[in-house]
Structures are given as structure tokens and as C-alpha cells.
Amino acid sequence: MLKTEHWSVDIDLTEEDDRTSAKARLRTRDATDLQGAGVAKRNPDDTNVPEIGAELAAARALFELAHHLLRAATTDVEQLTGEPAHLHS
């Protein structure tokens, strides 16, 4: 039987001076709430292109979120099997 799920990730971006912060949040169907954070800081000598800071900060937040999700999956497998799990990306 084919089953489809939809998970959404919300990313909030905050810009202040030469610094962009991002928070990525995922809520799964079982109400697990995972979050990741990322920051991008512009070198004062670089041209101010806010989109680049947003992309970098969001990518870093998603990267951290992915690590949290992988850790959660590892814990779930270990609880289910009673054996150590070695999941990696």
C-alpha cells in the first residue's frame, strides 16, 4: 500500500547589520520538534548581498537540523532493536 506523508520545514531569517541568523524547524507526524540554527557573517570588505547571507545561514541551519534528525532516527532504531545503531549520512 502506497502511503504519502508531507513534512514541512519552516526557516526564520533575521538580518542585523552584517550578520544573518536562521532557525530551521521540523515537526514530524508524531509531534517530534527538531530545530537547527545557522549564522552567516559578512566580511566588512565584501559587497552587501543579503540573499547570500540568507542562503548561507539557512544552509547551516538545515545542516544542523539534518544531524538532529539522523540522531533521532538512530535512537529510534536502537530502541526498536535493542542494539547499537550506526546510521550515517
CB atoms within 10 A of CB 43: 7
Q: Please tell me the predicted confidence (pLDDT) of residue 29.
A: 81
| pTM of the predicted model over 0.75 | yes
Beta-strand ranges (E) seen in the chain are 9-16, 19-27, 33-41
Q: Please tell me the predicted confidence (pLDDT) of residue 30.
A: 79
Q: Please tell me the predicted confidence (pLDDT) of residue 39.
A: 98
Q: Go through the domains of the chain in sequence order and give each one's CATH number.
A: 9-81 (3.30.160.240)
pLDDT tens across the length of the chain (89 residues):
999 988 899 999 999 999 999 999 998 887 789 999 999 999 999 999 999 999 999 999 999 999 999 999 999 999 999 999 988 87
